[in-house]
Homo-oligomer: A and B are copies of this chain.
């Protein structure tokens, strides 16, 4: 059956979202043009009306992901004043994001995306390092205001911040969602807090 005609901007968003769903369900390895188009209710060849290639679609997915991650940082900065509370809120939001979008860890962990595609690997690296940079900035601000330990190396702190949730995301992915990321966050945050905050 022929799908209803839609504006290409709308379809681009739909296909990007469809790709995220498929990746979340079947992993990056399981992402096929037919799968994505099917998820969006289109035939496989229709995808090429809106994206030049599978690579272009993947690039759009990565852009979407980066915006999503950085939006959390912006919101947290707006909502909380101190560095400690900002870190807590950010970790909580990050846990929610990972729990609600299994595609996120799948993409970050995947080597299928960057395989034989140096530009792609660079993009993923840039997304993570950008995120790490934001966390590092919050840590430095916290040290300046005196709420975080001055002897803490901000770069190491940011990597450990990521590490507080990363294995949980991995376990969640491997167990098909059985491992509860949010519950892990609740237990992990106090421990992380204790190792970076003063007092």
Interface of A, secondary structure class, is helix
A48 within 8 A of B: no
A159 close to B171 (CB less than 8 A): yes
- The reply to whether B167 and A162 contact each other, CB–CB distance below 8 Å, is yes
**A160 & B125 in contact (Cβ 8 Å cutoff):** no
Known: A29-B112, A111-B109, A174-B125. A195 touches B191 (CB 8 A): yes
In contact, A188 and B171 (Cβ under 8 angstroms): no
Q: Does A28 contact B (CB under 8 A)?
A: yes
Q: Which of A115, A156, A167 lies at the interface centre, i.e. has the most chain B CB atoms within 10 A of its CB?
A: A167
Interface residue A7 (Cβ < 8 Å from any Cβ of B): no
A112 & B28 in contact (Cβ 8 Å cutoff)? yes
The answer to whether the Cβ of A146 comes within 8 Å of any Cβ in the partner chain is no
A116 at the interface (CB under 8 A from B): yes
Q: Does A114 contact B (CB under 8 A)?
A: yes
CA of A172 to CA of B119, assembled, Å: 16
Say yes or no: is A97 at the interface (Cβ < 8 Å to chain B).
no
Please, which residues of chain B bring their CB within 8 A of the CB of A153? 187
Output the least CB separation between A163 and chain B (Å).
3
Encoded as 1 (CB less than 8 Å from any B CB) or 0, chain A from 77 to 90 comes to 00000000000000
Cβ contact within 8 Å between B156 and A124: no
7 A-B residue pairs with CB within 8 Å: A26-B116, A28-B112, A109-B110, A125-B174, A128-B174, A156-B187, A159-B167
